[in-house]
Amino acid sequence: MQTKHNAGRLRQAGVAMLLWLGIVLPSLAIEVPTLYTAEVPLDREAENPRGDAYEAALVEVLNRVTDASLTANPEAIAELFPNPAAYVTQFRPGSADSLWVSFDGKAIERTLRGAGQTVWGADRPLTLVWIAVDWGQGEREILGSDDAARTEQEFRSIDRHRLLRERMLEAAARRGLPIVFPLLDTTDLQSVTFSDIWGGFDDRVLDASRRYEVNSVLVGRVRPGSGQPDRWSYFFGGEQRAFGGAPEAVIAQVAGLLAAEFAVGGDAPIEVVELNVAGVASVDAYGNLQRMLGNVAVIERFAITEVSGDRVSYRVEVRGGRDRLSRALRFNGLVEQEGPGDFSPGAALEFFYGL
């Protein structure tokens, strides 16, 4: 019980470090509530300091919620958003010479969808990051969530340890990707060693990751200053991918993969899908299910068609089709069930609540 409590605290603390405020859902998703806020430099000597800051903040926001090809095209952004100030809901002075800006996310999404651009919603996988770092001259360590457990002999590595972690947190924040690092408590250290990570014994790392209740795991082998490329393995959705490169570049690749999986194009067709969810055995379960469906980005509308015992049937209008809805529901923690009509494109999706 204590182990599960610690893992829950880590999820909350890690997301708070990254995004100021993190909400842990009772599923495999993290809601990222700060996608549409940004703090950017404010050049008081510019002709239009606040207007320039609004434009810079909008680019940061778009980098988190839409396709990278748009954010790399200033002309396209200017055409879609000729007046960024029209989307601003709040602003205030930030630290030093900066401006904190909050945008109307729904309005930005409508503009993107109206132009056929993709939109990546607020529910995103929480990624657990294991990194084995070889600093050279026999100094090796695993990057953890904090430095509290370090011995006095290890103090000299705290700054570089912290800086590497902050590099990854900042890169993840730029893409709206929630990440956390392992606690490295007794449970972790009895399960995973530096050699396990460095040697590619990823099964042991994945087993140790189960306690954190994540379905996205990034494993890195980093040797700073050696001239050798860093090596990374990424696990999500039952698949493994290998990357090479600096931490920031790898975070961008992971964010790109997840955006491709979960972002929905504004021009994607809307289809009607029948959905049955069993295991809805209480009023609380029903309320949680209704809220979850309301927050699934690919669902445009849904309505109850029948309630029978603990089984609720829905008519769902989904953008992107049946398979996209199925992936989104699995991602949000529902368990897909096999049914007699599974092989028919028009068959109802069968899921079990069980949360």
Together in a domain, 144 and 248: yes
Same-domain status, 171 and 49 = no
Q: In the listed set 87, 119, 151, which residue is the last one of a domain according to the structure?
A: 119
Residue 340 has pLDDT above 60, yes or no: no
Domain contains 331: yes
Q: Residue 153 above 90 pLDDT?
A: no
Query: 75 and 200: one domain?
Result: no
At 11, the pLDDT band (50, 70, 90 cuts) reads very low
Same domain, 115 and 157: no
Asked whether residue 69 falls in the same domain as residue 195, the answer is: no
Higher local confidence (pLDDT), 70 or 150: 70
Of the pLDDT bands very low, low, confident and very high (cuts 50, 70, 90), residue 124 is confident
Q: Provide the domain limits for residue 301.
A: 268-352
> What pLDDT score does 13 carry?
40
Residue 60: per-residue pLDDT? 96
User: Would you say residue 24 lies in a domain?
Assistant: no
What is the pLDDT of the chain when averaged over all its residues? 86
Task: Answer whether residue 2 shows pLDDT above 50.
Answer: no
pLDDT tops 60 at residue 15: no
Residues 190 and 320 in one domain: no
pLDDT for residue 149 is more than 60: no
Answer yes or no: is 77 within a domain: yes
Whether the CB-CB separation of 59 and 76 falls below 8 Å is answered with: no
Same domain, 142 and 240: yes
Same domain membership, residue 304 and residue 180: no
Say if 51 falls within a structural domain.
yes
pLDDT at 268 over 60: yes
Judgement on whether residues 128 and 191 belong to the same structural domain of the protein: yes
Does 188 map to a domain?
yes
Whole-prediction pTM: 0.78
Q: What is the mean pLDDT of residues 46-72?
A: 94
- pLDDT at residue 61, as a whole number: 97
For residue 195, tell me if it sits in a domain. yes
Check pLDDT > 50 for residue 54.
yes
pLDDT of residue 180: 95
Same domain, 130 and 254: yes
Q: Is residue 17 over pLDDT 50?
A: no
4: pLDDT strictly greater than 70: no
Q: Would 20 be classed as within a structural domain? A: no
Q: Among the three residues 70, 94, 119, which one is the final residue of a domain in this structure? A: 119
Residue 311 clears pLDDT 90, i.e. is over it: yes
pLDDT tops 80 at residue 306? yes
299 in a structural domain: yes
Residues 158 and 80 in one domain: no
Question: Which stretch, 55-69, 110-124, 261-275, has highest mean pLDDT?
Answer: 55-69
For the chain, the residue count is 355
- The pLDDT score that the predictor gives to residue 229 is 87
**pLDDT by residue (tens digit) across 189-220?**
999 999 999 999 999 999 999 999 888 999 99
Distance separating the N- and C-terminal Cα atoms of the chain: 18
Domain stop point among 96, 119, 142: 119
Same domain, 134 and 107: no
Q: What is the domain count for the chain?
A: 3
